[in-house]
Every structure is written in structure tokens, then in C-alpha cells.
A and B are shown apart, each in its own frame.
Chain A
């Protein structure tokens, strides 16, 4: 039996080392003018962003320079806050091509500040090399619509640094919840037949056939769905709007609901993406050194969904 042990650790270690080196350079630069009080580093998923926060205060003497330059790579976002005033001092930060600069004239000696810096982690495989994510692709019984999800760190020791632990935030997991069976089996047969007649009438057909189809449609129009075809279809479509569909979802244990949208798998796009066979549900979780694995459950409240489909046809 071929077992892969600790695969990807070299890659992850290399990337984290590069992230830490950058942080060390920031600290060394800051230390020339300030006393560093606290540090924290997070990796924000799914965009793979390194967020470094450092709190510092001036050494109580006038600053040596007017500007401190931190040219250690392109930044995504930088913000500086005064802890006392709880205000962001946007004037103090200049983003430049290969980093950022702090304009010291906007800082007061003796005051405590927090600097938050965001860098994009270039390697697209970084998160997948660090965390194993898995959800169930299908469920055994239609009546029990519970989808399990798990995110488990592959490498734990790499998160331990001299300033503390690197955290992983908002790690996303996607579950495909099947809805096709509920829609197709719950639509009343009379409505299906009515739609088929309407559809045939929209196509070029012979005169005799048109008469027959109109007669059939006139007969069908006497049913309670008569003349309401488009309204019913609109109402059905509304069920798949994220705001509506989330009512049928319950995310449990270590995960929280984030968003949902119409499925994007190959079997969902054909023939038309307008009517989803699956809804794609995104749930999120955080992982860190003390919580290396997150396990959860996504429950699709199918009975509620079915009841709401039935209400459309009442």
C-alpha cells in the first residue's frame, strides 16, 4: 500500500517562510522608530490573503525620519489606526508600486497604533496544500438531506511562529444540494401538460394542429393554473434566489452559512442554466493551531421547500 505522508509540506513551508520573512522585515523597519507591542498573522481564504497586524508605539522621542518605507512587495490594503482614538489615519499611508510608506508627521509620539497590512499570496495551490477540504457529493437517501463537510489541516507545525500562531479565516467549502427531483416530482401533472401545449403553440405548426392545440389549451385554461403559466414559473424561479433559498438551509457545528447560488457543474449547465438541478451552498469556517479540524453538517430543509413549491400551485 502506497501511503503519502505529509505531502506538500515542503511547498507550504517555503511559502510560510517567505510570508514570515516579509513580516520580519516590516518589524525590523518599524523597530527603528517604534516599540513593537503585539503581532498577529492571519490567512484569509478563499482569496489567499496574508493579513499581518502589528501594534506599536513610538519610543517617546521625535521621529528620525519623515517617512518610513516598507517596500517588501505589492500590498493589497494597508490601514493605520490609533488605539486611543479608534480612528483610521488614512492620510498617514501612501501605497506605492512595491509596498507602502508611513508618513510619520501624522503620528504622535507616545501613542499606540495598529497597522494592518494585506498581501496576496501568489501561489494558487497554497490553501489546498495546507488544508484538506471535503464535502459529500451525494447523499444515500433522498428523505434525509444532510451533507457532511470537513476541513482538516494537513500541516500543523508550520502555523507555529515566534509571535504566536497563524490563523486561517473564512475557509470556504461548497456543497451541491440536489433540487431537481423535488421540482420535477412536485409539479402537478396538469401544469406540466399545460406548459407542453403552450410550448407546442409557440413553434411553427400546421393549421389543423394549431386548432387542436388551441382547443386543448382552452380546455386546460379552465384549470386553476389557467393563464398563470408565467406567474407560476416566476414564483418557482424566485425560490432559487439566494435570499429565498437560504431559508431552506441550516448549517451546523463548526461551519456557518455564507452564500448560495445556482449550480455550476457540467451536469447543471446543460441544456439551460436557467433552472438549477443543484444549488451550490458555500459555508465557512476558521482553523488554527488549537483547532486543526472543522466538521459540520449542511441540512437542506426539503419538507419546507416542498411545501413552498406546493403553495405556488394552490
Chain B
């Protein structure tokens, strides 16, 4: 609370303490409605002002691209501001935003800090050759692994995109492959009458069905596709409740029909293998590579990555990696990786349990 010239302004400032980089940051300010003032907001150059609400256009001024001056509020006592952020080269930065309330010649200034974070995936070690051995119980062991560490903050989503010139291709394990195939086959059939009932959404339904059948990748094209399909779908489901009902019914009935193909145990294993230390989510974790003796078995791939704000990052090259075996085998995708998080988090995990 600030008292200026016998007046209590009762200001309240909301600004989040943290946000993923690349996300919009909401700010709202309230103060006593019968006190007329001017507000100056000083923000870092990296942050942009995107939207302002409840201020007349003539009451908004920007100075030096980093000072926002607000007056002439449509309803006095409140303003809503949306800031834009970008991806920084550092995975964690702290930015300060200064709010200055001005009544005539009196000022009060308040500074707030926001932490802007993102995951940062580092390829710590990429071997050129991995040998696969079997023990007396036929258990597989590897001479080396690809080592990945999330040295930033926040969840990282990773997907291995296999290049066309790769000897190794990924495919679904038995059971899961059958489930995936049958599920999408069945759903395809159920979506046909839906397309007829809602011809205006026909393209979207086709895109959705295609999304499920094709491998996911976090490159610009893949992310654009995910964003388009899911954004359009969310918008339509929001505005058309009867379509939502029929669409959900089709998915659930296909799922229930095919779920008996895979066991609960398998689905749980797939779940466990997709989540790793350092808040890493690995897609297609239980897909398999077939390794054949006396074959070149070269993996050419790119590790595509994103975060929960769907930011795009440069893919990591996993190229020219040879697998050697003297016995034909199938190895799950997750098994060629070793994931690490920040030590302090891991230590804390152990302490809790």
C-alpha cells in the first residue's frame, strides 16, 4: 500500500514469478478507482508488449522501445497487459520489470522479477559404434549408449526421426503394433460417417487420422502439423458440442474395441519407458530396431525436440552410429539412450522416497 498526498492507492500487481521462454506473460494492475494516475512500466529489450486492455489508444506511449507509459484508462483502477517473450541462448534468465505509479509530482516504484526458463538438451556423448552382447540368460547388454542430459529447466519432449538413408528403421513391437494398426483402422471406419455428417470438418478428420498413423517429429513441419490439427480440432470441439460428442464416441469405442489386444502390463511398460530423468519425455520409446549380424546396421537419425510451449529447437544429429551383434535381435529405442537430469533434483528425488 502506498500513501501519497493523503491518498491510499491500494495498488496490486500480478506478474507471474516464472514462465517458459517463448510464452506470453500476463500482467494485471489494479488500484483505487477514484485515484487518477499515470503508470510507467520499464521492461527489458528482450520483452515485447503485445496487447493492452482498458486503456484508450491515445493513452498509450512507448519510449525507447523499453518504457511503456499508460494513462486515460477506460475504467479507472485497472489495466491488463500481455507481454511477449522469446527464446534466450541461456536456459534460465531472470528479467526485471519496473512499475512506476505517478500522481502529479509523487512517484512510487515497484520492481518485480520473472524467471524465464526452458529445457536444454545436451548430447553429452554420441558413440560411433555400439556392440550388443547376450548373457547366459539371453539378456542384452550394450558396450556404449547415447548420453543425453537436460541441463535446463522444464520438460523436454524428444522424438527420434529416422533419416531415409538409415539402415535401421523403427517399428512397433508385437502387440502394440497390432493395437496401433487395428485402432487406427477401426477409427478410420468410424470417422467415415462423421465426415458425411460434418462435411465442413472432413479435411480436419482426415488430417487427424493421418496424424495418428505417421511418426511424430518435432521439426518445423511436424510441429506445424501438430499445431494446426490440434488447434483447429480444439476450436471446433469448443464451438460444436454435437460434433465433440460423436468424435469422442468414435475414439472411445475404437479404443475399447482394440485395447484387449495389448495388455495393461505392456501399456504400463511403454509409459515407464517414455519418461526419464531430467523431465525428458521420449516418444516412440518402445519401438524397436532390428539388428542383423554381419550387416552394416548404421543408424542415421535426428533427435527432434520441443517443450511444453511447443518451442522449436535445432535437432541433434545422431548419425553414423553402427550397431554390432553376432546374434539377430530387436532392441527398443529407449535402450540406446541414457538420460540424465540435474544432480540436485535427483538427489531430492531419492530423499523424498
Chain A residues packing against B (C-beta within 8 Å):
1, 3-7, 124, 132, 134, 136-143, 148, 150, 152-157, 160, 176, 178, 180-181, 183-187, 192, 195-196, 198-199, 202-204, 209, 212, 215-216, 229-230, 233, 236, 265-267, 270-275, 277, 289, 292-293, 295, 302-303, 306, 310
**Is there contact, CB below 8 Å, between A134 and B26?**
yes
A-B contact pairs, 25 of them (CB 8 A): A1-B49, A3-B49, A3-B62, A132-B51, A138-B155, A139-B18, A140-B18, A140-B153, A150-B26, A150-B28, A152-B26, A156-B74, A156-B78, A180-B275, A181-B275, A192-B272, A195-B265, A199-B263, A199-B265, A233-B265, A236-B268, A270-B283, A271-B286, A272-B262, A292-B30
Whole-angstrom distance between the alpha carbons of A20 and B305 in the complex? Answer: 49
Whole-angstrom distance between the alpha carbons of A178 and B275 in the complex? Answer: 11
Known pairs A183-B271, A277-B274, A293-B28 / 20 extra A-B pairs, C-beta < 8 Å: A1-B65, A5-B51, A5-B55, A6-B53, A140-B115, A150-B26, A155-B53, A155-B54, A183-B272, A184-B271, A192-B269, A199-B265, A215-B137, A265-B230, A271-B176, A273-B255, A277-B275, A292-B75, A293-B78, A295-B28
Does B52 touch A at the CB level, under 8 Å? yes
**Is there contact, CB below 8 Å, between B23 and A137?**
yes
Closest A-B pairs by Cβ, 3 of them: A124-B239, A180-B275, A275-B271
User: What A residues does B281 contact at CB under 8 A?
Assistant: 180, 267, 277
User: What A residues does B50 contact at CB under 8 A?
Assistant: 3-4
**Is there contact, CB below 8 Å, between B19 and A136?**
yes
User: What B residues does A295 contact at CB under 8 A?
Assistant: 14, 28
**Is there contact, CB below 8 Å, between B175 and A202?**
yes
- From B80, B92, B286, name the one whose CB has the most chain A CB atoms within 10 angstroms: B80
Whole-angstrom distance between the alpha carbons of A28 and B22 in the complex? Answer: 52
Does B87 touch A at the CB level, under 8 Å? no
Chain A contact residues, majority secondary structure? mixed
Give the segment of B162-170, B314-322, B345-353 that binds chain A.
B345-353
User: What B residues does A183 contact at CB under 8 A?
Assistant: 271-272, 275
Shortest CB-to-CB span from B241 to chain A, Å, is 9
**Is there contact, CB below 8 Å, between A156 and B54?**
yes
Return the contact of B352 from the options A137, A270, A274, A306 (Cβ within 8 A): A306
**Is there contact, CB below 8 Å, between A203 and B349?**
no
Say yes or no: A137-B272 contact (C-beta < 8 A), given A3-B60, A5-B55, A5-B60. no
Say yes or no: A6-B57 contact (C-beta < 8 A), given A138-B154, A195-B265, A277-B281. yes
**Is there contact, CB below 8 Å, between B175 and A203?**
yes
User: What A residues does B117 contact at CB under 8 A?
Assistant: 138, 140
User: What A residues does B239 contact at CB under 8 A?
Assistant: 124
Whole-angstrom distance between the alpha carbons of A178 and B92 in the complex? Answer: 20
Nearest B residue (CB) for A292: B78
